[in-house]
Structure 1
Amino acid sequence: MSRAALLVLADGRFPAGGHAHSGGVEAAVANGGVHDSASLAAFCRGRLHTTGLTAAGLAAAAATGYDPLALDEAADARTPVPALREVARRLGRQMLRAARATWPSPHLDHLARALPRGAHQPVVLGVAARAAGLASFDAAQAAAYESISGPATAAVRLLSLDPFDATALLARLSDALDAVARTATDAATRVTDEGTGVLPAASSPLLDITGEQHAAWTVRLFAS
């Protein structure tokens, strides 16, 4: 198992399209919910334990080799808002392109053929992690990290925050991130016997509502 592969997969410069998305923080800035480093920290912590946990579970299960089509259906069930489903599939398409070029794999090829419109991004991330020789815990960590690094980076641009503060925020969440990844991985080890219902399904209704509203904005800096 290559630890360097995890660095590549989790790198914000991996060409998977994440830089164009704010993870809901653009809408949160607009409504005043996020306005400084402290409120951004609260936003990221909440996102980590809801959206991040759910994504980490899906990614960890995909990395075990569990049926990605069943996991994609499970991701749909955990994403009730049409706008956010479209975002997840758009990001999945881009990540699949990058992953197939980086770690050629029949599993990635199968996913591309089966879901030409794109699979949910966490599912693709897990299949990519498997293709890169990574473990399910690695996939869970990468998914959990993506759930907070995107909003933190976007907030630097939206609020002109000190990037050092945003990076320190991510570092302070590292223990919580590892705990979320462990919970997700534990669930993923049971999915073969118990089905996708055992995977985390934590929700964030406010992110769902603002995600649908954000998609209707005529002027915005980020795609989501």
Structure 2
Amino acid sequence: MNRAALLVLADGRFPAGGHAHSGGAEAAVTAGRVHDVVSLQEFCSGRLHTSGLVAAGLAAAAAAGYDPLLLDEAADARTPAPALRQSARRLGRQLLRAARAAWPSAALDALAAARPRGSHQSVVLGLTARCAGLTSLDAAYVAAYESVSGPATATVRLLRLDPFDAAAILARLAAGIDHVAARAAESAQHALIEGVEALPATSAPLLDITAEQHAARPVRLFAS
């Protein structure tokens, strides 16, 4: 196990395309639901325990060795909004390019050949973690952290928040990230025996609705 690879994969400077996405934060800011530090923390917490948990479960299962093509179908089923499916596949395609350069492997090449238009980012993340010598828990941690770090960072730009406040929010969410990552990793082990139905399938309908609204806007700072 190459634990240092976890730092590379979780680094915001890893060229995986995340900088162009806000994780729904821009739509929430536009609607007035996120307008200060308190509302940003509430938004991030909600995202962590819904879409963040789903992404962490999928990533953990891919890292544990579950068939990534079956997981990609499961990710589609857990992502009802077409705009979010498109964003997830776009991010997955970019992550796969970076991953194949960093950790060349037949498994990553096979996924790229099977899904030339891109796989869901969470599935690619988990397979990348596996190819980098990381565990399913490691993959779950990266997915859970990304679910809140993206919106927090984006909102600094959107609202000109103090970046120290954004960092403090992430620190306060640390216990929640621990919980989500552990739950996701446990579900991945169950999925190896019981199938993808054992993975989290929590929903966030408002994120789905606002993602479609955001995609239809002619002027926006972030792709999603």
TM-score past 0.5 threshold:
yes
- TM-score w.r.t. the length of structure 1 is 0.99
**Corresponding residue for residue 19 of structure 1:** 19
Distance (Å, rounded) in 2 between the aligned partners of 1:58 and 1:79? 12
Note the alpha carbon deviations across 1:88-143, whole angstroms, 9 max, x for none. Answer: 00000000000000000111011000100100000000000001000000000000
Distance (Å, rounded) in 2 between the aligned partners of 1:143 and 1:193? 22
Distance (Å, rounded) in 2 between the aligned partners of 1:48 and 1:75? 16
After TM superposition, the runs of 4+ consecutive aligned structure 1 residues lying more than 3 A away are none
**Corresponding residue for residue 196 of structure 2:** 196
**Corresponding residue for residue 91 of structure 1:** 91
SS at match of 2:15: coil
Q: Which moved more, 1:186-195 or 1:122-131?
A: 186-195
Per-residue deviation, 1:3: 2.2
**Corresponding residue for residue 220 of structure 2:** 220
Per-residue deviation, 1:80: 0.5
Unaligned runs of 5+ in 2: none
Distance (Å, rounded) in 2 between the aligned partners of 1:95 and 1:202? 24
Per-residue deviation, 1:2: 2.1
Per-residue deviation, 1:65: 1.1
Provide the alpha-carbon RMSD of the alignment.
0.5
**Corresponding residue for residue 119 of structure 2:** 119
**Contact 2:58 2:199 (C-alpha < 8 Å) held by counterparts:** yes
Per-residue deviation, 1:218: 0.2
Per-residue deviation, 1:66: 0.7
Per-residue deviation, 1:4: 1.4
Note the alpha carbon deviations across 1:65-99, whole angstroms, 9 max, x for none. Answer: 11000000000000001111000000000000000
Distance (Å, rounded) in 1 between the aligned partners of 2:140 and 2:192? 17
Distance (Å, rounded) in 2 between the aligned partners of 1:54 and 1:100? 24
Per-residue deviation, 1:156: 0.1
Distance (Å, rounded) in 2 between the aligned partners of 1:7 and 1:174? 16
**Contact 2:141 2:181 (C-alpha < 8 Å) held by counterparts:** yes
**Corresponding residue for residue 187 of structure 1:** 187
- 5 Å matches for 1:134-173? 134-173=134-173
Distance (Å, rounded) in 2 between the aligned partners of 1:28 and 1:81? 16
SS at match of 1:203: coil
Distance (Å, rounded) in 2 between the aligned partners of 1:102 and 1:206? 36
SS at match of 1:190: helix
Distance (Å, rounded) in 2 between the aligned partners of 1:63 and 1:70? 13
SS at match of 2:161: coil
Distance (Å, rounded) in 1 between the aligned partners of 2:178 and 2:103? 25
SS at match of 1:72: helix
Q: Report percent identity of matched pairs.
A: 73
SS at match of 2:155: helix
Note the alpha carbon deviations across 1:146-204, whole angstroms, 9 max, x for none. Answer: 00000000000000000001011101111110110000000000112100011000110
Per-residue deviation, 1:24: 0.3
Unaligned runs of 5+ in 1: none
Q: Report the residue type matching 1:76 in the other structure.
A: D
**Contact 2:3 2:133 (C-alpha < 8 Å) held by counterparts:** no
- TM-score w.r.t. the length of structure 2 is 0.99
Distance (Å, rounded) in 1 between the aligned partners of 2:40 and 2:194? 36
Q: Are positions 1:67 and 2:67 aligned together?
A: yes
